[in-house]
Amino acid sequence: MSTSRVRKFICAALAGTYLAAAPVPTFAQSPAPIDRLGIPGPIEFAGTQYHLAWSAQPSADYIKHEYLPLGQKPASYADMVSVELLTSGISVADAARAQTTKLDKRKGSDPLANYQLLQNPNNSQVVLDFLMSDESTGALIVEWDAYRYVSVAMPDGKNAVILFAISRRHYGAGAGEFLKSLKTKRTADINALVSHAIPGAEPSR
């Protein structure tokens, strides 16, 4: 599928998910992020607006967008929403499995690495809820993420996977309080993620 058709498909399917009238802010990065999916933002999640801050297309069948609240930067964010499109034909189960395989390997060096999978009965959606940490920069970073994988049918009839995700980070001292707060915030975020309009078509069977 051409890039223009992918953009039209995602943009049409996202109706009502973002506030199109709001301007896209200028972040402290160069060059400005490219809207590769036809989703300029902002995306509103749990009462907060997230603006397009970074994008990439590592391969012909993989595009990624990252959105942040005003004032936050990709290298030091506290809250992030991301949207990814995978058109290689991979299933939601295999996409989630690729991430859990990485997390399983990480457990050997990361004492906080842990995850759980939630799957709906018809297997068209999977939610991966996970925690990890890093000290490679000399300061502790604790990160919690919830990834929602959704199987969608593209206009050409092929299946694709859209990943819609929320990420929360804490830096330095006070990680214990951050982990405590996750006990309540985590459930609310997962519920909001699952109920949020997905940037894509109806799940395929």
Dihedrals phi, psi of 40, to nearest 5 degrees: -70, -20
Instruction: Indicate if the pLDDT at residue 203 is higher than 70.
Output: no
Determine contact, residues 162/95, Cβ cutoff 8 Å.
Answer: no
Overall average pLDDT of the 125-149 stretch? 93
What does the mean pLDDT of the chain come to? 81
User: 170-186 b/e with 16+ CB inside 10 Å = b?
Assistant: bbeeeeeebbeebeeeb
**Does pLDDT of 28 surpass 50?**
no
- Number of helices (H) and strands (E), helices first, in the chain? 3, 8
The predicted structure's pLDDT at residue 201 = 38
- Predicted local confidence at residue 9, as pLDDT: 36
- Output the pLDDT for position 123: 65
pLDDT at res. 189: 95
Q: Is residue 95 packed enough to be buried (19+ CB in 10 Å), middle (13-18) or exposed (0-12)?
A: buried
pLDDT given for residue 121 in this prediction: 60
Name 155's Cβ contacts closer than 8 Å, sequence gap at least 6: 1, 5, 9
Which band of pLDDT confidence, cut at 50, 70 and 90, is reported for residue 25? very low
Mean pLDDT, rounded, for 34-56: 91
Quick one: how far is CA 62 from the chain centroid?
A: 13
pLDDT for 137 equals: 81
**Is the pLDDT reported for residue 19 higher than 90?**
no
Lowest mean pLDDT segment, chosen from 19-23, 69-73, 83-87, 144-148: 19-23
